[in-house]
Structure 1
Amino acid sequence: MGNNGSKGMIHKSSYPDVSIPKKDIASFCFDAWENHLDKELGVYGTRRVTYREVKTDAVKFACALSENYGVKKGDVVAMYAPNSVEWIVAFYGILAAGGVVTTINPAYTPAEVTHQFHDSDPKIAIVSHACESKILEVKHNIPSVKHVLVICSDKEEDINSEHVKFDAVVQQSRDDFKGPKIGHMELAVLPYSSGTTGVSKGVMLTHYNLVANCVQNVAALGKEFTDPNGSLVAVLPFFHIYGMQIFLLNALFTGCKISIMPKFDPMEFLRILGEEKVTIAFVVPPIINFLAKHPAVDKFVDKFKGSLKCVLSGAAPLGKELGEAVSIRLGCTIKQGYGMTE
């Protein structure tokens, strides 16, 4: 009821209703991948992987989590690493095993890491080699973590004797694992949001939440995004809900190729736009500002001007003038999205 006693109005979307499958997110995406298993899924430096390779390794990791590390439905596993192919394998492996993924910003201080571990209570931490030292610093304060698996970019990298290399865990496992039956309303991911006050807070998202957002985005974003021959540059961090939903879920569900960047490097970003024929770029306003104003863009723009159809900005407001400047300079459509982790 409003202040004047009248009933509130019901607002409906102008988009038509979509059918949302009642499936767990791993099965939902894996089933879609069956149509293009031998297609290229990701590019990471000089490495190229197919959907089949990532699915096989994800199933093997799910098997290892369940049979070797005792992960059961609802157990939390923490991801504390920058973007990589292994991040994708671990993400889908955790979900296929019935676990819950909580994601941690690699730039967090030891105090911030400790807070999230205490709040989310993970059994296992999957960390990059660069983040391993921070885990060692706080490990005595996070008793819930029984195992630490380390993602190494170089097979020769040394790790702490109490930890295990992620690749070894995957390669020594089986690829015929049949995971538990996972209800669509069960918890899937536990990302953290700054909210409006105080420390970051865990946001509980179910498998149904993720499947629904996939279906909604595919319906709303149009042909640029639903093109199975699409190419995206995964410059946004997977630990953030924006990067997670767009690159790990929506893009892979539709069969796109993603070029994975562990962090934003301006010249590498421009190179990828051209060499990988990126069709749609999901970015944030600071990258829009770079594309609008940096002189280096002129050296690359002719290499991607024909293939880049759309740039979509999110995570913060984008001013009209800045958006128009990029549209003119790059010769593509500019869109702006809004969403909350919640």
Structure 2
Amino acid sequence: MASKLFYRSTRRLVMKRDNLLNISRNMSSWTPDLVVKSTFKDIEIPSVSTCEHIFQNIDKWADKTAVVCGFTGRSYSYHEVYKYSRNLAARLRRHYKIRDHDVICVMLPNLPDFPIAVFGVLQAGAVVTTLNPIYTAHEVSRQLSLSDAKLVITIPETAKVVYEAMNINKTKIPVICVTESNENLPTGAASLNDLIKDTLMDTSILKEVNIKTEDVCFLPYSSGTTGLPKGVQITNRNIIANLEQQEDEKLKQYRDTTKSYQDKTLVVLPLFHIYGLTILMLHKLSIGSQLVTVPKFQGSTFLNVLEKHKISLFYAAPPIVLFMASSPAVNPHHLSHVDMFMCAAAPLPLADVEKLFTKAERKLDFLQGYGLTETSPLVSSMTRHTDNYGSVGFAVAGTQLRVVDQSMNNLGPNLVGELLVKGPQVMKGYKNNEEATRAAITSEGWFRTGDQASIAEDGALVIHDRLKELIKVKGFQVPPAELESVLKEHPKILDAAVVGAPDHRHGEVPKAFVVVRDGHALEKEEIINFVKERVAEYKRINDVEFLDAIPKNPSGKILRRILKEKYC
């Protein structure tokens, strides 16, 4: 009996080994340990700063337009972006006493001045933390405090919110405003235009800057898979790696800039978000493309931009794709110049892709990609001219993927589990939060995405579900824990939970579950208005359900699945 058991056990092991060997032979991206390695050519990461990398070929297109406002036509050439950003950097060092590794907040919509602000901060040796310009004073105050920002670059329309945030924090830091006229400049704020266009600016002070490739250059705030926003420390090396990872000939999404040709990249996705920041702004400026900025999505004016500027590279999130596919105002002419259409930020159903093709009256070169703030962001991208619209593509160069079960065992092809990522684009860690960093990055350097995924036999990645906890509203991530924290600030609320409820217009909307303190009474509208005053519009509570108790597991974790199944 023992010998038979030994024989069967040995036979199973041999069969498993042979199966794994077949996988590795047939699919070069799979290893015998069920790890998927990128098959794209390895990249070299130079020991330079982000700005040095981006500006290395600027002489080839110095006089070409780098960025233009799709609405107003206001623009900057590549030479102007370089010159003005260095002027700003010198001002920051000399006048505002900014030093290496200081943090500066950039709170701007998509404007032509965005790259100048970002590159000015980086060339001053400082770190950029971006903020959504529709944030409330409470949200701004938290990020200013967490990041320890030394200065804010914003617009007059949102400067009031910034000053309110400072009052909440009982601090005062300088404010620089992007404005074409000093007439609406807030009292005490400086004009970016005045700072950058000083023709006599001495930039020799920039020789003091001592920034290394391993130093942090961007500090966006993300909720990860759960919890309150955390500062994601992205280094120069992370960014440069992600820029180089987009350069493989099989993944290349652009045409080379020449004397007679320049791609025009639509920039409607927010530049304060890592997707827009890296994929659209940093990468496209590094290869000489023209950025056409759209400060706010509005149907008719947006279509005018497409028509006027003859967009060749169209990057979008699902809500924009749905608009293009379904709006009666859209016609084939609006998409006639598009060479490449990419959708990311959330999975897109095949039916919506086909509707877009019908609207365009042709089969567009349509790709999907996948990434996270913590991965700078690109993890995978589909190759050009594909018919696989259900996949978010293949791991970019130098990147490894694993799909694991709850015990962290690697799973084979087409099995669903949690996706883990390893590569040079993975963040350094969360700022001042070692516990969160340890929870997110294993001792072997694998980043736990929290996303449910599978990997096909050919290495193509499929995302089955978004982050376990986050609510996706029109492509924006809304962390339940943040809204729960806001709700618990209400003196009459004892406990609270928030989940995403299905919504035909926005995908999901936040729904709150509230336990009222004994002896108190609350109305839905009071709670909705309380939250409304404290968060950006897309985070607002849409509905409230009153409960006697919030369902939780023995360790105290909210059982959101039960709330969704029972009430949504």
TM-score (norm 1): 0.92
Deviation at 1:156, TM superposition (A): 2.4
Q: 2:371 aligns with which of 320, 330, 339?
A: 339
Q: 1:194 aligns with which of 223, 228, 247?
A: 223
Deviation at 1:303, TM superposition (A): 5.0
Q: Report Cα offsets for 1:19-54 as digits up to 9, x if no partner.
A: 222210011111121221111111112212210111
Choose 224-233 or 116-125, whichever is displaced more: 224-233
In structure 1, the residue corresponding to 2:270 is in which secondary structure? coil
Q: How does 1:83-122 map to 2 (within 5 A)?
A: 83-122=110-149
In structure 1, the residue corresponding to 2:104 is in which secondary structure? strand
Q: 2:317 aligns with which of 272, 284, 289?
A: 284
Deviation at 1:61, TM superposition (A): 0.3
Deviation at 1:211, TM superposition (A): 0.6
Aligned residue in 2 for 1:321: 351
Aligned residues: 335
Q: How does 1:249-260 map to 2 (within 5 A)?
A: 249-260=282-293
| Distance (Å, rounded) in 1 between the aligned partners of 2:114 and 2:135 | 18
More strand by share: 2
Deviation at 1:223, TM superposition (A): 4.6
| Distance (Å, rounded) in 2 between the aligned partners of 1:230 and 1:23 | 26
Q: 1:149 aligns with which of 170, 176, 187?
A: 176
Aligned residue in 2 for 1:170: 196
Q: Is 1:291–1:297's contact at 8 Å kept on the other side of the alignment?
A: yes
| Distance (Å, rounded) in 2 between the aligned partners of 1:201 and 1:308 | 37
| Distance (Å, rounded) in 2 between the aligned partners of 1:324 and 1:16 | 32
The answer on 1:63 being equivalent to 2:90 is yes
Deviation at 1:326, TM superposition (A): 1.0
Deviation at 1:145, TM superposition (A): 4.9
Q: Is 1:283–1:314's contact at 8 Å kept on the other side of the alignment?
A: yes
Q: Is 1:77–1:102's contact at 8 Å kept on the other side of the alignment?
A: yes
Q: 1:14 aligns with which of 22, 28, 39?
A: 39
The answer on 1:183 being equivalent to 2:183 is no
In structure 1, the residue corresponding to 2:113 is in which secondary structure? helix
Q: Which amino acid aligns with 2:105?
A: A
In structure 2, the residue corresponding to 1:182 is in which secondary structure? coil
In structure 2, the residue corresponding to 1:107 is in which secondary structure? coil
Q: How does 1:124-273 map to 2 (within 5 A)?
A: 124-142=151-169, 145-160=172-187, 162-172=188-198, 174=201, 176-177=203-204, 178-179=206-207, 180-219=209-248, 222-228=251-257, 229-273=262-306
TM-score (norm 2): 0.56
| Distance (Å, rounded) in 2 between the aligned partners of 1:221 and 1:38 | 30
| Distance (Å, rounded) in 1 between the aligned partners of 2:219 and 2:300 | 33
Q: Is 1:327–1:333's contact at 8 Å kept on the other side of the alignment?
A: no
| Distance (Å, rounded) in 1 between the aligned partners of 2:281 and 2:183 | 28
Which of these two proteins has the greater Rg computed from alpha carbons? Answer: 2
More helix by share: 1
